[in-house]
Amino acid sequence: METTMPLTCCVPGCRSGYRSTTEKASLFCLPSDREQRHRWKRAIPRQETDAFRFESKAVRVCEKHFDPTDIIRADEFEISGQSVLLQREKLKLRFDALPRIFENLPAYFTKPKPRSRLTTRKSV
């Protein structure tokens, strides 16, 4: 019988996914989009080694490392002219989500989410 390794969060110091951890957290695969994947690799404070490669299909990052606004927990549908909100069984990340929260590491690893810029027009 073949045994598989449990999927765990790749962020140093994070215990999400380990059998000894009772708190459940959703785990997300690295993005398939090459540019976004590169951003994640730069954001996660972990070096690649012979034992760890970001390109592995088993690499996961848990929801604890994302800003709550980057996680889609429900979908909105319009049914008979009314807006209906349905909770997702499986959480989803926004396309531009980046892991930014690293609580088990020194504070300088955690990067605040940049505020969205409001564009203003100046009249000439």
Residue 99 corresponds to which tokens in the numbers above? 């892991």
- Closest residue by Cα to residue 41 from 56, 27, 26: 56
Domain spans, the chain:
27-109
Is residue 56's pLDDT more than 70? yes
When pLDDT is cut at 50, 70 and 90, the band that residue 30 belongs to is very high
Q: What is the pLDDT of residue 120?
A: 59
Q: What is the pLDDT of residue 6?
A: 72
pTM: 0.77
Mean pLDDT of 27-43: 94
Residue 4 burial by Cβ neighbours in a 10 Å radius (0-12, 13-18, 19+)? exposed
Residue written as token pair 């994640």: 40
Q: 97-108 pLDDT, tens per residue?
A: 999 998 877 666
Mean pLDDT of 63-67: 96
Mean pLDDT of 7-11: 91
Distance CA 29, CA 59 (A): 6
Q: What is the pLDDT of residue 70?
A: 97
